[in-house]
Amino acid sequence: MKTSDNRRILEVLSVTTLASFIAGFNARLAVVGLPTIAGEIGADVWSMIWIIQGFMLGSTIFQLIIGRLTDLYGRVRLFTIGIGIFTIGALLSGLSSNPAFLIISRTVQGIGGAFLMSISITILTDNVPPSRLGTWLGVNQVAWRIGALLGLTLSGFIIDLLSWHWIFLIQVPIGVIVLFWTRIRLKEVYKPKENIFIDIKGFTFFTLSLTLSLIGLTIVGYGYRDYSYILLALSVAFLAIFVYSELKTTHPALDLRLFKIWQFSGGIISQLLYSIGFGASLTLLAIYMQSVLGYSPSETGILLVPYEASYLVFGIIGGRLSDILGFAPVNVAGLAVGSISLFLLSLAGSIPMIIFAEVILGVGTGLFVSPNTSSIMTSVPPDRRGVASSIRAVSFNVGFAISLNIAILTMTQKIPYTLASHLIVLGGILPSDSSLTIELTELGEAIKHSFLVQALIMALAIPFSISRMKKVEMNKKVIK
C-alpha cells in the first residue's frame, strides 16, 4: 500500500476514533448518575429510563434516513452536522431542570449521535481495505471503550464533587474539539449520487411504530394495561404498513432487499438479540450497586471499570481474530461467553463475583461486536454501505431500548412499582411502614431475575451466528 494511502487511512482513523471516543464517553456518563439525576429533578423509574431512551429514540429513528442522506450529500458534510447537533444536545441536557426538558434534550443529542456513529463506520469502510477492516473497526471499538471507561470513572466523581449537570456540560468542549479536527482532517472520497429519493413516508411509519411501542411498554408500569395494549397494537400495525411500504417503494428508507443476503441478515438478527440481552446490563448493575449495596456514584463508576477494561483489550483481539479466523466462530464464542456472564450476574451478590462476571461480559462483547459489524458492512456493495450502516445501527438501538423496558418490566413483576421507585430513584428512602433490609433484598432479587432473562435472550442469537459458519460468497446481484 502506498505511503499516501496509509496517511489518508490514518487521518480518517483519527477522526472516526475521536467520534467513537465521544460516543462512548456520552454512553457511560449518564449510567452511573441516573438514580441521582432522577432524584434531583423529581423523576420516577420510567422517567429515569427515558433519560436513556430519549437518546436511543432520537438516534434510532434518524438512522433510517442517514444512509440515504450520506449517499446523496456525502459522508463528511453529514458527519460534521451530526457533531454539531450532538454538542448542542449535550449543552441543553446540562441546562435541564425537569424530566421533560431533559428527555427532549437527550433526544436531540441522540439525533446527533445517530449521525456520529453511523457515518463514522461508513467513512471507515469506504477508506480501509476489507482485509484490514476488522482490525480498524476493533481500534474504533477500543476508542469507544476508552471513552466509556473515562465516562464511568469521571461521571461519579463529577456528580459527587460538583453536580449531575456537569456530566453533560463537559461534553460540549469535547464536541467542539472533534468538530474542529474533522474540518481540518477529513476529506470526502465518496462521490455523492444525484436524484436519490428520501423515503419520508417510510421514515414516518417507522417513527410512529417505534415511539408507540416504547410508550406502550412504559405505561404498563403505571397500570394502564388496556391503553398499553392499544398502543402496542397500533405499533404493530404501523410496522406492517412500514414493511409493505418499503417493499413497494423504489428507494426505501430501509432496503429490505439486503436481507436476502444471509451474511447480512444473520448479522443483523444476531446483533438485535445481542442488544436486547446486553442493553440494560450496566444500568442494572449501577442501580444494584447504588440502591441495594449502598455505593456512591463515584464508587459505582470505579466498580464498573472491569467490564470496560476487559472490553478494551478484547475489542482489538476480537477484530484481529476475525481477520484471521473469519467472523462466524469469533461471533459464536462472544455470544456464548456473554450469555454465561449474564447468567453469572443473575447469581452474583458479592462484589468479587460481580467483578468476575463483568470481566467475562467484556470478553464476550469484545469478541462479538467488531467482527459482527465487519461481516455486516462487507456483505453489501459499496454504494449500499450507507444504508447497511443505518440498518445495523437501527437494530442495535431498537434492541437496546427494548432491553431497558424488558428489564424494568421484569423487575416490577417481582417488586411493586411504587416501592421500586422509592428504592431506585430516592436511594433507599422507603415508606415508613417498610423494612429497609427486606425490601432492598427483594429489589436485588428482582434485578438478578432481569439478568437471567437477558442471558436467555442473548443465547438466542447463537444459532444465527452458527448458521453463518459456512462461508457464503456475496451475491451482489440479489440487491440490484
Residues 211 and 359 in one domain: no
The pairs formed by 218-225 with CB atoms below 8 angstroms and a separation of 24 or more are 218/46, 218/49, 218/50, 218/405, 220/409, 221/45, 221/46, 221/408, 221/409, 221/412, 221/417, 222/46, 222/417, 223/417
How far apart, in whole angstroms, are the C-alpha atoms of residue 16 and residue 128?
12
Residues 241 and 263 in one domain: no
- The dihedral sign for the CA sequence 100, 103, 104, 105: positive
How far apart, in whole angstroms, are the C-alpha atoms of residue 424 and residue 443?
9
Residue 21 belongs to domain with CATH number: 1.20.1250.20
How far apart, in whole angstroms, are the C-alpha atoms of residue 304 and residue 362?
11
Residues 279 and 243 in one domain: no
Residues 380 and 235 in one domain: no
Which DSSP category does 351 fall into? H
Secondary structure class of 127 (helix, strand, coil): helix
How far apart, in whole angstroms, are the C-alpha atoms of residue 449 and residue 413?
10
Residues 45 and 180 in one domain: yes
Residues 324 and 373 in one domain: yes
Residues 109 and 122 in one domain: yes
**Residue pLDDT tens, the chain, 480 long:** 565 566 777 777 888 888 888 888 887 777 888 878 887 888 777 788 888 888 888 888 887 777 777 777 777 888 889 999 999 999 999 998 888 899 999 999 988 988 887 788 777 777 777 767 767 777 777 787 788 788 888 888 888 888 889 989 988 998 898 888 888 877 766 666 666 667 778 888 888 888 888 888 777 766 677 888 898 899 999 999 988 888 887 777 777 777 877 888 888 898 999 999 988 888 888 888 888 888 888 888 889 889 888 887 887 787 778 777 777 788 888 999 999 999 999 887 788 999 999 999 999 988 888 788 878 877 777 767 767 777 887 888 888 888 888 888 888 777 776 666 666 665 544 454 455 666 777 788 888 889 999 999 999 988 888 877 654 444 444 444
Answer with the one of 222, 248, 274 that is the final residue of a domain: 248
Give the count of domains, the chain: 2
Contact 44, 408 (CB under 8 A): no
| DSSP H/E element including 425 | helix 417-425
Q: Find the largest Cα–Cα distance for the chain.
A: 74
- The residue range of the domain holding 228 is 200-248
Residues 124 and 109 in one domain: yes
Residues 234 and 133 in one domain: no
Q: Please, what is the end-to-end C-alpha distance for the chain in angstroms?
A: 31
Residues 81 and 224 in one domain: no
Residues 214 and 360 in one domain: no
Residues 193 and 220 in one domain: no
User: How many other C-beta atoms are found inside a 10 Å radius of the C-beta of residue 338?
Assistant: 30
Q: Which phi and psi angles does 161 have, rounded to 5°?
A: -95, -35
